[in-house]
Each structure stands twice: as C-alpha cells, then as structure tokens.
Structure 1
Amino acid sequence: MPALVKMVEAFGMRLSVIERKLPHLKIVHGLEGRDAQIEEVKTLLRSMAEVSMEVLCYNWMPDEDWQRTSKDVPERGGAKVTAFDLKQAGEGNLTDADGLPKTRTPADRLWENLKRFLDDILPTAEDCKVRLALHPDDPPLSNLHGQDRIITSNEAFERVVALAPSPNNGLCYCQGALAPAGVDVEAGIRKLAPHIHYAHFRNVAGVAEDFRETFHDNGGLDMAALMRAYKECGFDGPMRPDHAPSLAGESNETPGYETLGKLHAIGYMKGLYDQASFFES
C-alpha cells in the first residue's frame, strides 16, 4: 500500500479511500469463516492507518456488489451507459456480481450480522482513525432473486447510524444507487450529512426495477441543488463521480469507469461546486 500511495502522490493527488471487493460475504451472511474475514478487515484497517488513509467504503449487498443487465445502452452523442431491467435479470446476464445468490439470508438476520460486524470492527477503526462508509444496495430493491436486501433508503441509513453510535460509523451516500427507489436525495443529504464520510455523486433515470445511468447533466436528479446541499451542510469529505458514460471511441471494457466520461463528470462537478460557492458568498 505505501507504494500505491506514493504513486498517487507523484501526480499531485492524495489517496484517501479504499472501496469495493472486500472479503466480507461470510460476514454478511453469518457463515463459517466470518471471524477470519473480520480479521482480514482489521488487517486492512491497520494497513490504511500506516499510510494515513481516512475512509473504508464497504457494502452490505448479499450478492457481493452492484448489478446491471446491460453495459452498452446508448446515451447522448454515441456514449454508452449501464442499465438494469428486473425482467432481464438472472444468472448469466448479471454484470458485476456473480449471478444468483448462493446463500439466502432474511432481512432480520442481515441486520443482526451488520450490528455484529460494527461491534467487532469499530474499536479497530477508531484506533486506526479510519472512518467506515456503508454504500447502499444497487439496485435498491428490498428483494432480488429471493434474497432480502436492507440498505435501500434514507431510513435504512438512519438505522445503520443508530446501530453503533461512533464518529467512525458512517455512510457512503450514493445518490445514483438510492434515487431509483424514489428516495428524497436532497433531504437525505441534509439529514444525514454529519454521518456521510464519502459521497458518490452521479445521475440516473428510471425506477428501481428498470433504470439506466446517464451523463451527470442528463438524469432525473437536480445535481445543482444536491451540490448546494453538500456545500451548505459543510461536507468536506471525499466525493467522486462514481460511474460515468463511456464516450464515443472508448473501448467500454470497464463500463462506468472509462477515462473520458470520468473527465467530463469531474469537470461538471467542479462547475457545480464553484456555482454553489458563488451563491453561498
């Protein structure tokens, strides 16, 4: 990890967040081997502390990670975006997770396992000065393929915060993951701001059962209002554009993460931030 930090710093940037692909499915489902995975997470926290990294983003998705049914839906100007259609979802065409759940755990047990995880991990996180940031389920469906999912709303986030009161227990507020469920994103930002340790700032169009990603200026969210909400709440944590379209001419080998779409998104976000600062003054 020190070599990675040094490489990033050589470009005038600072590495402050670790996210995705944590070894945690046995923890989520409460399976044999969960204690070993807990120790792996603690080891990661200690490694982060050695290089002064501030935030560990994790999720409680019981099938590992975000899911889509399409990677190349047409967007403006020949760009391509990812999409999810519940009618098409099934083993073999889920794009980021491994397909249908191998273990089905009910919602109440998922909450119990999350509480146990936080109780086990937070003392180490506090010692290491690393803040936890829980990402919502994507897609934000309360059940997918017979498997319950629990982190799909502002209310769920409030419950997470209440599970383990600690300044190191917090949230990754991913507005693009929550919005298809009809969540009031601006209200969520304003209410949960003290607990938001990390922000994913992207746009989306559609509903939880059928949605697509968009350019940052081309979805259903009022992005200017949301940036103002972050600014007015005094948010000073890390924020990233999350997924962005693959622009015409890009390979789309890593949907949502191609270079040119990301550059467009970052520029748009910088403009919104400057606008929010102007109105604040």
Structure 2
Amino acid sequence: MYVGTQLGGDKFAEVGDRYLRQLAQLGVRHVCIDPAGSAYGWTREVLARHIERIDKAGLVLDMVQLPLPSSGVDRSEAPAIMLGQDPERGQQIDGICTLIETLSGLGVASVKYNLNILGIPRTASERGRGGALLSTFRHDQTSDDTVLTRAGLVDADESWERITYFLERVVPVAEANKVRLACHPHDPLTRPGYRGVDRVLGDAEGLKTFVSIAESPYHGLNFCQGTIAESLDNPRDEIGAIIRWFGSRKKIFNVHFRNIKGGRYSFTEVLPDNGDMDMADSLRIYKEVGVDCMIMPDHVPDIDGEAPFETAFAFAFGYIIGLFQANGWDPYGA
C-alpha cells in the first residue's frame, strides 16, 4: 500500500500540470486522475495522451473513474443503470465494458465507480477546528425527506436487482481484462425510504452482500473509511473489525482515508488527525491484512488561505506519509 490521491477531470482542468508537479514534489506518486470531458469520449488516443501527461510529471495513473459518479442519477452520464431502464442500461453498460477493455490495453489496472441514486446528502455545514467549515449530515435536520429524484420510489429489492444486473455483466469483462472494479459505498447511510430510496450499500452488512455477488478477485470496494464510519454507532471501536473483514478477503482496492466526528445519522467530516477514529491503528490494520492499493485523502474541510484545496490535501498527504514512516514502511510505492 502507498499514498495516493484522486482528482476529477473538471478539477484537473482547473489546476492543471502545476498541480501534478506539486503532487510529485509532495511525494505522491500514484494517482486517480481523469481526463477532462465525458468518459464515453475517452478513446484510446485520449487516454494515451492523458497517461503520457501523468507520466511526464513523474506520476503513475493507477485508476480512473467510470461514468458512474458519486453525484447520483440526476447528474450521471449513465443514469439508466440505476434507473433500471431498458434498453438504455444495456447500451450504457456496453460502453463501460468497452472503456474497461481500453484501459486494460493501456495498462490501467483499476477503476472506481458508484452505484448511487441520491448522491451525497448533507445538511448545513458546521464550524470545526479554528473555524474550518466542515461537511455535515444531521438526519434529524434534513428538510428534503420526501423530495424524489427522477428514480422515484426504489425499495431495497429493486436496488439489489439493478446492482446485480450491472455486476453480472461487467465483472466478467473486468476479470477477463484484469481490471479491478472498486465500488464506493453509499455516502452516507440514510434511513430506509429517505427521498424514496432504500440505500443498500450504506453499511458494512450491505457491502458484505455486495462483494458476494458475482464473486471475483476483480470485484471489490473503493473502501471509504469515512463513509463506513458514518454508518456506525461507535466508529472508533467498530472500524477495525470491518477493515479486517474486507481486507482479509482481498476486497479493498482503494482506500479513502478520512476521519469523522460522530457516527450513524449525525456527523461532521474532519481532517484525519482530528476525528474520532484512531487512524494510525487503522493504517496498521490495512497493512496487517495485506491491503495493496492507494491510501488517499478525501473530503477535506474548507479552510482559509490562498490555496485552501491544495493546502488541506497537502496536510493530509503529510499526515499519511508520516504514519507510514513512523511504522518503517515505504509510503511512495517505489
């Protein structure tokens, strides 16, 4: 395992090659950075130029994001998959399979994705350490409980049918091409029927069911430690056993190494040193069970300064690298 990071194509277009050089200077070698534009337009030529650009900065493209974003069906390039709409979902899945084959041919061995209808619900942000603005969710403060997405009412059985339909068609293609599929949990766990949807991938039990569908060494998780903590009553005491369960079964293909304060239905997102979980202990468990992937920051607070995004992520990189070195491990993936 080794330190890494991620950046969407639109954000990459904003920060450009200067940020790639900054990552290399900070000791971050492995990345998940997408080309700009629609994933369905990522031809072999587009992706090859993108890989060359990443390589020129001294970085390695470990992973990209499939056109199934965390933002949910209302902003997805492939909405029919989670809407269960035929024949469109078959066509969209075919496009994803083609993309997986192209990435394999270019040496990109992992992709991440979401099977998400609602996006990432949050309530009003709250202030944290030093006045930093923290992404927050308080289920008892939500005001949109009955506001439906274009998906309408989707119960647990319908959610599982759509997820299974996708996996049964995509996992064999990923396995044939030796590309690991890393799915992100539903962020956060919400009460059944919230906005008309039963979210089935919001906790460890749902994720255990998920990884048992279409069993394959190429079918696993973008293991967001923060999201899973959001589903727990006591994240500090419970997270270790969950890491061990998925890690020992080789189902962790990427780690979002972030911390929270709070737990089920009520939390704030904080920098990794400032939350309820013992992140040093978590990293030791990832190592103990043989996790082999990027350990990356995610969802940093909004802080002050001229470059708040870069500064907050630089702090998180330094924190992760420090934990590696304190244990005598190489954080750079050399």
Structures share fold, TM-score greater than 0.5: yes
Aligned counterparts of 2:292 and 2:328: Cα–Cα separation in 1: 13
**For residues 35-63 of structure 1, what are the alpha-carbon distances to aligned partners after superposition, in whole Å with 9 as ceiling and x for unaligned?**
11111211221231132112111122222
The reply to whether residue 225 of structure 1 matches residue 274 of structure 2 is: no
Q: Which amino acid aligns with 1:151?
A: L
1:197 matched residue in structure 2: 253
- TM-score w.r.t. the length of structure 1 is 0.87
* Cα shift at 1:134: 1.3
- Identity percentage of aligned residues: 33
1:7 matched residue in structure 2: 53
2:230 matched residue in structure 1: 180
Which SS does the other structure have where 1:57 is aligned?
A: strand
Question: Do the aligned partners of 1:172 and 1:199 also contact (CA within 8 Å) in 2?
Answer: yes
Aligned counterparts of 1:273 and 1:39: Cα–Cα separation in 2: 40
The 1:21–1:218 alpha-carbon spacing in structure 2 relative to 1, beyond 3 Å, is: farther
Could you list the runs of 4 or more consecutive aligned residues of structure 1 that deviate by over 3 angstroms after TM superposition? 87-91
The 1:198–1:191 alpha-carbon spacing in structure 2 relative to 1, beyond 3 Å, is: same
**For residues 189-247 of structure 1, what are the alpha-carbon distances to aligned partners after superposition, in whole Å with 9 as ceiling and x for unaligned?**
11111111111100011233222111111111110110000111121112211111232
**Equivalent of 2:324 in 261, 273, 276:** 273
Aligned counterparts of 2:60 and 2:302: Cα–Cα separation in 1: 25
2:63 matched residue in structure 1: 17
Matches within 5 A, 1:249-260: 249-250=305-306, 258-260=309-311
Question: Do the aligned partners of 2:189 and 2:202 also contact (CA within 8 Å) in 1?
Answer: yes
1:94 matched residue in structure 2: none
- TM-score w.r.t. the length of structure 2 is 0.74
Identify the range of structure 1 (267-276 vs 23-32) with the bigger mean alpha-carbon deviation.
Answer: 23-32
Aligned counterparts of 1:250 and 1:157: Cα–Cα separation in 2: 39
Which SS does the other structure have where 1:61 is aligned?
A: coil
2:150 matched residue in structure 1: 102
1:119 matched residue in structure 2: 168
Which SS does the other structure have where 1:212 is aligned?
A: strand
Q: Which runs of 5+ in 2 are unaligned?
A: 1-46, 69-76, 330-334
Aligned counterparts of 2:183 and 2:217: Cα–Cα separation in 1: 13
Which SS does the other structure have where 1:217 is aligned?
A: helix
Aligned counterparts of 1:45 and 1:204: Cα–Cα separation in 2: 33
Question: Do the aligned partners of 1:77 and 1:248 also contact (CA within 8 Å) in 2?
Answer: no
Which SS does the other structure have where 1:173 is aligned?
A: strand
Question: Do the aligned partners of 1:20 and 1:58 also contact (CA within 8 Å) in 2?
Answer: yes
